[in-house]
Amino acid sequence: MNLEAYAKQNGLTGAKFASFNQKDYDQFYMSGYGKAMEDLTMSDDFENYSDLEKEKMADTMALNNLSYFAGVAPPKSSGLALWEKAPTSFLKTYVLSTSGKPTHSNDEWTGK
């Protein structure tokens, strides 16, 4: 649901409605970023990665996740090459599987 569009259509003018899409984006981004950073910092597989490398990888995870659920290809990011060379993990598989344009839209529920 596009809350900003709904608010405009129904004359809802509160600041919370007008900035919902940005807040939603920020929240969803930070959720993906936080999950990636948690996995990257807790796993021994990534102990030789620098903090900057982990941050780039977490950024890529967050951007890919946002793009996947929006049904669009993610932007190019500097962390993708690090994920491609990373040890095998669930998160690596997920990030790489979401690094291209989805085969179908993922931004709506089909009820099936």
58: which 2 tokens?
Answer: 């977490």
Distance separating alpha carbons of residues 62 and 105, to the nearest angstrom: 18
Report pLDDT for 107.
54
Q: What percent of the chain has pLDDT over 70?
A: 74
User: Which CATH number does the domain 33-102 belong to among 1.10.8.870, 1.10.3720.10, 1.10.246.180, 1.10.240.10?
Assistant: 1.10.246.180
Phi first, then psi, for residue 17 (nearest 5°) are -75, -40
Instruction: Determine contact, residues 43/57, Cβ cutoff 8 Å.
Output: no
Question: For residues 29 and 31, what is the distance between their CA atoms, to the nearest angstrom?
Answer: 5
Q: What is the pLDDT of residues 41-91, one digit of tens each?
A: 999 999 999 999 999 999 999 999 988 887 888 999 999 999 999 999 999
Rounded to a whole number of angstroms, the CA Rg of the chain reads: 17
Q: For the whole model, what pTM was predicted? A: 0.76
